[in-house]
Amino acid sequence: MNDRVNVLENFEEIISSIKRIEKNAEVFRELKEISTELSQLKEYVKENVDNFFKGFQQFNTDLTQYSKLIDFHQQVVNCTKWEEARIRIFDFLSQQINYDLAFILVKLTEENREYSILLRPEEEKARIQKFIRNSDLANLKAYLKKRNSAINNLDLENPEKLNWKTLGLSKAILFPLTVQGKNIGTGFILRREKDFQPHEVAFVNLTLGLISLIVYQSKYYDVLKEKLTKQAASKKIEVDSSFKNYIDNGPLSLFVLDSNKIILQTNKAAISTWQRNDNPLGENFLEIVPEAYRNGLARIIDESRDNQIDNYISPLMKDDDSRIIAEFFISSYELTGQKDLRLILVLDISSRFYREQIEHRNEILDELDQFSRILVGQLNNLITTIIPNIALLRNRLKSDLPSRQYLDVIDRAARRSSNLIHKFLNYDLEDLENLEEINVNKLLKAHITALQEDIPERIKIKLNLDPQIKSFPLYPLKMVKIFDILLSNSLTASQNRENSEIEFSTRILQQKENGLIGSTNFYLKKGSYLELCVRDNGIGIPSKSLMQVLKPFYSTRVKNEGVGLELFIAYNIVKEMKGQIFIDSEIDKYTGVYICLPFKEEEKMRTATYEKIDHKREVVAQRPTILVVDDEYNIRSMMREIMEMSGLKVFTAGNGKDGVEMYKKYRDDIDLIIMDMVMPIMDGREAFLEIKKIDPQQKIFIISGYSQREDLEDMLEKGAVGFLRKPFQVKEIVSKVKEILGSTN
């Protein structure tokens, strides 16, 4: 019984075990399925990881290739010559592809009969020319144009049409050069045995666009040079082998632009003109000029036509923020009916521009000066008539007559007017001043020292004087007048400014040729100069006013309280000394006035002292005769009356020409000629010289309200017996005439 119970229990355990085994088997099956799935997952992960690494490696390879391409582009951009760019192309290809020979055949248009061969080294050129003659390149060009990509020569439809035996090489990559849809050439990369691999062909395809552009811009540049050469030859200009080299290396800046005004090619001078840290190739040409001038330049470029040259003048920006003045000569270049390029020559005309600007300024100032002097001269003639007539009238009136007081009032007013006129016409200086050997540094030091008490303490005066300056002939009073004017203007500009400073400086300036002084905009002719500069850190002058401040009565101040004549006076004094005056300024920073006076240290000083001229006095038996030559009728009439009252015989003439004719007619009777300087038809100087030709001993006395100082000095040196400025008193003119004639009448 017990056995039976044990059997049953064991059987139940067996059944339970079997059931557990069945369950385990299901687990095993599930585990097996999971294991299979894990194995599949592992293979999938492995495959994808491998693919990822392969992709990553390809990415690195592509990145490296693109990086190399970028480096190549930078190298080419930095090339200043086409020869350098050509070498870069073949060096780059040889670094990426192992080959035995590479060359490029270029034919920009069908008008070009022969191919241009680009290769390195040049000694293979003869073999390539033979290959060209014995091959059907037109068929190859058409096939590549259709494919528009690099190919292995094994893929050619008719490889037998290319004479590979001539080159001794049979494995090749062939590629087209295409720009703007036009085929401009074909490239060849060859080796003897090993076939080119797909990745090598792919690399060439990657570089095709860049190589095409490099060749395009450089060869078009050669075409343009060739065109210039032909144009020069057609216009009978002598052209030699150095003409093209002149275009590359000459002084003219040359730019070749596409229709979008992008710079495709330049020469050495253009790169120097560009003055940027980077090469101008690929840049927008309009950036070369200030923004305000770009629209105008763009319009001229857009409207340019073939065989027509337009020009445009604009400042040109340089790397150091300075500017030159440039003239642009612009022409388009049509090729096969398409306007592809603009050819622009840029000429630095700064020297000419600023010379013309200074000449124009001086012309305006001289016209204003002449106009002002004519008006004041007319007033002076009126005063000259009034003052002597007051004296004549006073002599005829009884001394106790009450109405004489009115004459006194008129006389005082006329004399004040005379003084004002004298200041305007003669800059408040002596009529005639002798040249003296002076040291301008010592003169300036002494004058500033004398004025020091009148200069506000807050304003610092600095002297920066060139010790090499020696004594040479100058007019001291004129120089002092210039010092006063420039100091006065600087003091005015320094009002209400903190840390005000005025600097006087001198130097010897050697201008070796006509042109600008150093880096300034000041044009000066060749010669040796004394330069005086007065510079202050005052309020400055607006740029638009720099060419205006020398005009009479001009002021930049809102309220003009009697100012405006000083710089105009300074200009005229400097002009009389054959010098130039320039002004440079920047608002709220500084103003500098530069005066350049010509000199030669070896020049002999003129020693004439006009006031000491000793005239021969002749005693005449008969009544002395005087010829008065003046264009003012009232002055002639007044002079006749005065001289006849003094016992003299008087002839009159209304201009220099009539005066000469009158002298020829009565020369044996005329003892003295009184000659005005400023007259119509023939002026006083010309009449003086004509009379001196007839009789060098004839006495001629000069009267004038205004005359060119150098003319007056020249006439006194050549024998004029004296000078009296209008207006004058009766006693003055009578005394002078009697002194000259030696008469007791």
Delimiting residues of CATH 3.30.565.10 domain(s) in the chain: 436-598
Average pLDDT over residues 551-563: 55
Name the residue type at position 312: Y
Q: Round to whole Å and give the CA distance between 262 and 282.
A: 6
Calpha distance 673→701 (Å, rounded): 6
Helices and strands per DSSP (H, E), number in the chain: 19, 24
pLDDT at 287: 81
The CA distance from 314 to 56, in Å, is 54
On the question of pLDDT at 534 being above 90, the answer is yes
Q: Is pLDDT above 50 for 735?
A: yes
CATH number of 82-231: 3.30.450.40
Question: CA–CA distance from 33 to each of 22, 27, 30, 145 (Å)?
Answer: 16, 10, 5, 59
| Three-state SS sequence of 437-475 | EECHHHHHHHHHHHHHHHCCCCCEEEEECCCCCCCEEEC
What is the rounded distance in angstroms from the CA atom of residue 203 to the CA atom of residue 673? 101
Tokens 């010829």, residue located: 627
Share of the chain above pLDDT 90, in %: 6
Quick one: tokens of 184? Answer: 């401009």
Average per-residue pLDDT in the chain? Answer: 76
Report the alpha-carbon distance of residue 616 to residue 236 in Å, rounded. Answer: 68
Specify the pTM: 0.56
Q: Greater confidence, 478 or 390?
A: 478
- HSE-up of residue 170 (Cα within 13 Å, Cβ side): 6
Kindly report the CA angle at 605 between 599 and 608, in degrees rounded to 5?
135
Render pLDDT for 168-216 as a digit per residue (tens, 0 to 9). 888 888 898 887 677 888 889 988 888 888 888 888 888 877 788 777 7
Mean pLDDT of 300-320: 77
Higher pLDDT, 236 or 121: 121
Q: Is beta strand 253-257 parallel, antiparallel or unpaired with respect to 338-348?
A: antiparallel
Nearest to 591 by CA among 550, 535, 547, 544: 535
What dotted CATH number matches 436-598?
A: 3.30.565.10
Number of neighbours of residue 743 by Cβ within 10 angstroms: 19
Q: What pLDDT score was predicted for residue 611? A: 37
397, two tokens: 């009136």
Asked if residues 90 and 119 have their Cβ atoms less than 8 Å apart, the reply is: yes
Interatomic CA distance for residues 432 and 712, integer angstroms: 9
Q: Residue 253: CB partners within 8 Å, gap ≥ 6? A: 266, 267, 269, 270, 272, 273, 345, 346, 347, 348
At 144 the three-state DSSP class reads helix
Contacting residues for 217 by C-beta, under 8 A, at least 6 apart: 256, 264, 265, 281
Say whether pLDDT at 432 is over 70: no
- DSSP E strands in 222-286: the ranges are 253-257, 263-266
CA neighbor of 108 nearest in space, from 225, 232, 266, 222: 222
- Whole-angstrom Cα distance, residue 302 to residue 297? 9
- Backbone region of residue 717 per phi and psi (left: phi > 0; alpha: psi in -120 to 50; beta: other values): alpha
- Residue 67 to residue 725: CA distance in whole angstroms: 87
Return the pLDDT at 593.
Answer: 92
Residue extent(s) of CATH 3.30.450.40 domains in the chain: 82-231
For residue 427, give the DSSP letter. Answer: T
User: Which fold, 250-348?
Assistant: Beta-Lactamase (3.30.450)
**For residue 673, what pLDDT band results from cuts at 50, 70 and 90?**
very high
pLDDT tens-place string over residues 221-264: 666 656 555 554 444 444 444 555 656 666 677 888 887 888 87
The answer to whether 601 and 674 are in contact (CB under 8 A) is no
H or E element at residue 653: strand 649-653
- Report d(CA 400, CA 386) in Å as an integer: 22
Dihedral sign from CA coordinates of 434, 436, 441, 443: negative
CATH architecture of 610-741: 3-Layer(aba) Sandwich (3.40)
Q: What is the pLDDT of residue 620?
A: 40
Quote the pLDDT of residue 277: 52
Q: Are 254 and 288 within 8 A, CB to CB?
A: no
Cβ–Cβ contacts within 10 Å for residue 46, how many? 10
| The dihedral sign for the CA sequence 477, 481, 482, 484 | positive
Rounded mean pLDDT, 500-520:
89
CB 502 within 8 A of CB 535: yes
Residues of the chain with CATH 3.40.50.2300: 610-741
Confidence of residue 325 (pLDDT cuts 50, 70, 90): confident
